[in-house]
Amino acid sequence: MTDDLHAIALTLNVSDLERSVRFYCEALGFAEGKTVERGSEAARTLEMENCQFRMCFLARPDIRLLLIQLEDPLPVYERPQTPANQLGPIMMSFSCPDPSATGKAITELGGKMIHEGISANGRFNLALVADPDGTRIELNSIPHADVLGVFPAK
């Protein structure tokens, strides 16, 4: 059964679609795909009665994102950043040779530096940044092949 199951994308609700598309493309190297508008015919997939939204498809070779901006009803901004101890997505993680430099470049493109330094075990450098809406992005200096080695191969 799971042989026919294929991951499509991580979906993020954003406050400003154009700003987020620009951020993810310029700061993290995503390619911009199609932008579409949807209405009530798609509301059930968002667990809503009625809604209007725009969405844009982004991709990198290693991950795909679907960014959604609700236009009606407007998004709720109860807290700017989800606490890491709350169930659900915590962050996206990327490996890169120089997390501090990459993190600083991301802040110049609208992100926010949350933390930078050395991992707790002292084995790698890291930077934790946030996108313009507060979604956490971890940058670490673990070689990409080593990172992939901890995940099971199918």
Q: Are 7-72 and 91-149 the same fold in CATH?
A: yes
Q: Which one-letter DSSP state was computed for residue 108?
A: H
Q: Where are the alpha helices (DSSP H) in 1-153?
A: 17-28, 99-108, 144-149
Least confident interval from 16-20, 79-83, 120-124: 79-83
Encoding tokens for residue 62?
């290693």
Closest of 23, 29, 35, 37 to residue 66, by C-alpha? 35
Which residue would you say has higher pLDDT here, 7 or 66? 66
Q: Is it the case that residue 64 has pLDDT exceeding 80?
A: yes
The CATH topology of domain 91-149 is: 2,3-Dihydroxybiphenyl 1,2-Dioxygenase; domain 1 (3.10.180)
Model confidence over 29-50: pLDDT tens digits? 999 999 988 766 766 676 777 7
Q: Domain residues of the chain, as ranges?
A: 7-72, 91-149
Model confidence over 67-104: pLDDT tens digits? 999 887 666 665 556 667 766 778 889 999 999 999 99
Q: Check if the beta carbon of residue 22 is closer than 8 Å to that of residue 58.
A: no
If you average pLDDT over residues 107-123, what whole number do you get? 87
Write the CATH number of the domain with boundaries 7-72. 3.10.180.10
In this prediction, residue 18 carries a pLDDT of 96
Q: Does the reported pTM lie above 0.85?
A: no
Which residue would you say has higher pLDDT here, 145 or 25? 25
Q: Check if the beta carbon of residue 46 is closer than 8 Å to that of residue 53.
A: yes
Q: What percent of the chain has pLDDT over 90?
A: 44
In this prediction, residue 149 carries a pLDDT of 80
If you average pLDDT over residues 55-72, what whole number do you get? 91
What does the alpha-carbon distance between residue 120 and residue 41 come to, in Å, rounded to a whole number? 48
